[in-house]
Chains A and B, each alone.
Chain A
Amino acid sequence: KNEVEQSPQNLTAQEGEFITINCSYSVGISALHWLQQHPGGGIVSLFMLSSGKKKHGRLIATINIQEKHSSLHITASHPRDSAVYICAVYYLGETSGSRLTFGEGTQLTVNP
Chain B
Amino acid sequence: DAMVIQNPRYQVTQFGKPVTLSCSQTLNHNVMYWYQQKSSQAPKLLFHYYDKDFNNEADTPDNFQSRRPNTSFCFLDIRSPGLGDAAMYLCATSRGAGNEQFFGPGTRLTVL
Collect the chain A residues with CB atoms within 8 Å of residue B92's CB. Answer: 43
Q: How far is the CB of A10 from chain B (nearest CB, A)?
A: 11
In the complex, what residue of chain B is closest to A48 when comparing beta carbons? B100
Q: Is B94 an interface residue (CB 8 A)?
A: yes
Task: State whether B102 touches A48 (Cβ < 8 A).
Answer: no
Q: How many residues of A contact B (CB 8 A)?
A: 22
In the complex, what residue of chain A is closest to B6 when comparing beta carbons? A42
Collect the chain B residues with CB atoms within 8 Å of residue A90's CB. Answer: 98
Collect the chain A residues with CB atoms within 8 Å of residue B106's CB. Answer: 41-43
Collect the chain B residues with CB atoms within 8 Å of residue A15's CB. Answer: none
Number of A-B residue pairs having CB atoms within 8 Å of each other in the complex: 53
Query: Which among A30, A31, A97, A102 is the interface contact of B43 at CB below 8 angstroms?
Result: A102
Number of chain B interface residues as a range: 20 to 34
Collect the chain B residues with CB atoms within 8 Å of residue A42's CB. Answer: 6, 90, 103-106
| Extra 6 A-B pairs, beta carbons < 8 Å, given A41-B105, A98-B31 | A35-B103, A43-B103, A45-B101, A98-B33, A98-B55, A105-B42
Collect the chain B residues with CB atoms within 8 Å of residue A103's CB. Answer: 42
- Please provide the chain B residues from 46 to 97 with a CB less than 8 Å away from any CB of chain A in the complex: 48, 50, 55, 90, 92, 94, 97
CA distance A96 to B33 in the complex (A): 12
One digit per residue, 1 when the CB lies within 8 angstroms of any chain B CB and 0 when it does not, for chain A 41-75 equals 11111001000000000000000000000000000
Q: Is A104 an interface residue (CB 8 A)?
A: yes
What are 19 inter-chain pairs, A to B, with CB distance below 8 A? A31-B98, A31-B100, A35-B103, A41-B105, A42-B6, A42-B103, A42-B104, A43-B92, A44-B103, A45-B101, A45-B102, A90-B98, A96-B55, A98-B31, A98-B50, A98-B98, A100-B45, A104-B42, A105-B42
Q: How far is the CB of A35 from chain B (nearest CB, A)?
A: 8
CA distance A102 to B102 in the complex (A): 15
